[in-house]
Amino acid sequence: MADFSYDLVVIGSGPAGEGAAINAVKQGLRVAVVDDRAMPGGNCTHLGTIPSKALRHSVRNTIKCLCSALLVNLVGSLFRK
The answer to whether residues 42 and 67 belong to one domain is no
- For residue 50, pLDDT over 90 is answered with no
The answer to whether residues 5 and 28 belong to one domain is yes
The answer to whether residues 42 and 3 belong to one domain is yes
Taking residues 5-20, report their average pLDDT. 90
Instruction: Please state at what angle helix 69-80 crosses helix 49-67, rounded to 10 degrees.
Output: 50
pLDDT confidence of residue 80: 66
Tally the domains of the chain: 2
The answer to whether residues 8 and 30 belong to one domain is yes
Measure the CA–CA gap between 4 and 30, rounded to whole angstroms.
10
Q: What's the pTM?
A: 0.53
Structural domain boundaries enclosing 71: 55-81
Per-residue pLDDT of 17-44, as tens digits, reads 889 999 999 999 999 999 888 777 777 7
- For residue 81, pLDDT over 60 is answered with no
- Look at 79 and 26; give whichever has higher pLDDT: 26
The answer to whether residues 5 and 42 belong to one domain is yes
The answer to whether residues 43 and 60 belong to one domain is no
